Amino acid sequence: MREFSVYALSRYMKKTRVLLFMAGILAVAGYAGGEEVLFEYPSDAGRDPFDPLVNADGMVNIRLVRQDGDLSLHGVLYSPSRAERMAIINGEMLRESDCIGSYTIQTIAQDSVVLVKEGKEITLRMGGENDQ
């Protein structure tokens, strides 16, 4: 059996405490600094799920509604009550005064939706014939 002097044992215990203390600090720092950041996809992104999310330059590949042609009316749920009217634009259920991209829904009719952007009105119609 190996014998340790009191001095050697004391040094060993101090080193062990210091290492445990440092490991604890690193564990706490890693836990606190490792907050998960969730990425929320814009509803108007129209992203192909098979395309890479991040390109070779490290930029996120998300295409937002930038032009009038990027908007597509898929359906209308019409009601005489304005509060119950809904439109499906680019796959998103929206009500009057909701926003999609930089557009605001002004009016939902039985077969069309009027949107406004910076005072400019566009009308989306079922079937894809849009008025500028």
Is it the case that residue 21 has pLDDT exceeding 60?
Answer: yes
Q: Which of the four pLDDT bands, split at 50, 70 and 90, describes residue 43?
A: low
Of 4 and 89, more confident: 89
In the chain, the N- to C-terminal Cα span, in Å, equals 92
Instruction: Give the integer Cα–Cα distance in Å for 21 and 130.
Output: 67
Give the pLDDT confidence score for residue 36 in this predicted structure.
Answer: 61
The count of domains in the chain is 2
**Closest to 113 in 3D by CA, of 63, 60, 131:** 131
Of the chain, the percentage scoring pLDDT greater than 70 comes to 64
* 42 falls within a domain: no
Give me Rg for the CA atoms of the chain: 29
Give the pLDDT confidence score for residue 102 in this predicted structure.
Answer: 81
Q: Scanning the structure block, which residue is given the tokens 């996809």? A: 41
For residue 23, the enclosing domain spans: 1-37
Its pTM surpasses 0.75: no
CATH label of the domain that carries residue 90: 2.30.30
pLDDT in tens, 55-86: 777 776 655 554 556 788 889 999 999 999 99
* 121 falls within a domain: yes
* 131 falls within a domain: no
Q: Phi/psi of residue 86, each to 5°?
A: -140, 150
Give the pLDDT confidence score for residue 4 in this predicted structure.
Answer: 61
Q: Please give, one letter per residue, the 3-state secondary structure of 91-128.
A: CEEECCCCEECCEEEEEECCCEEEEEECCEEEEEECCC
Give the pLDDT confidence score for residue 126 in this predicted structure.
Answer: 86
How far is C-alpha 78 from the chain's CA centre?
Answer: 29
pLDDT in tens, 103-124: 899 999 999 999 998 889 999 9
* 92 falls within a domain: yes
The pLDDT mean for the chain works out to 77
Q: Phi/psi of residue 99, each to 5°?
A: -115, 145
Instruction: Give the integer Cα–Cα distance in Å for 100 and 42.
Output: 9
* 130 falls within a domain: no
**Same domain, residue pair 121 and 76:** yes
